[in-house]
Amino acid sequence: MGHMFIINAPYLFSTVWSLIKPWLDEATVRKIHILGKGYKTELQQYISPENLPSDLGGNCKCPGGCSLSDAGPWNPNHTNVV
């Protein structure tokens, strides 16, 4: 896993996270980012704006909308030859 971002997390979530993380491996804890309202600056340290949808502070323009797009290295385009 690269990094996981939890965006606009409520204060209660951050409190629970601070209680749980001492029991997790330090390498795992470093990969999980709990971001509040001012998330855009930190998020863009890991993901460039052209790869973020506009509702997350980026300028990505995927056909059909970024939230519903399945574009990415996990779903390559394949052409079947019959």
Per-domain residue ranges of the chain: 4-46
What confidence tens digit (pLDDT) does each residue in 52-65 have?
888 888 888 777 66
- Give the containing element (helix H, strand E) for 16: helix 11-20
pLDDT tens per residue across span 7-50 = 888 889 889 999 999 999 999 999 999 988 888 888 888 888 88
For residues 57 and 11, give the distance between their C-alpha atoms in angstroms, rounded to a whole number: 21
Per DSSP, what are the bridge partners of residue 33?
A: 5
**Per-residue pLDDT at 68 exceeds 70:** no
Question: Position of tokens 């997790």?
Answer: 24
Q: What is the pLDDT of residue 22?
A: 95
Question: What was the pLDDT predicted at 78?
Answer: 57
Rounded Cα distance between 30 and 48, Å, is 20
Q: Rounded to 5 degrees, what angle do the CA atoms 79, 67, 27 make?
A: 95
Average pLDDT over the chain, rounded to an integer: 82
Give the predicted TM-score (pTM) of the model: 0.66
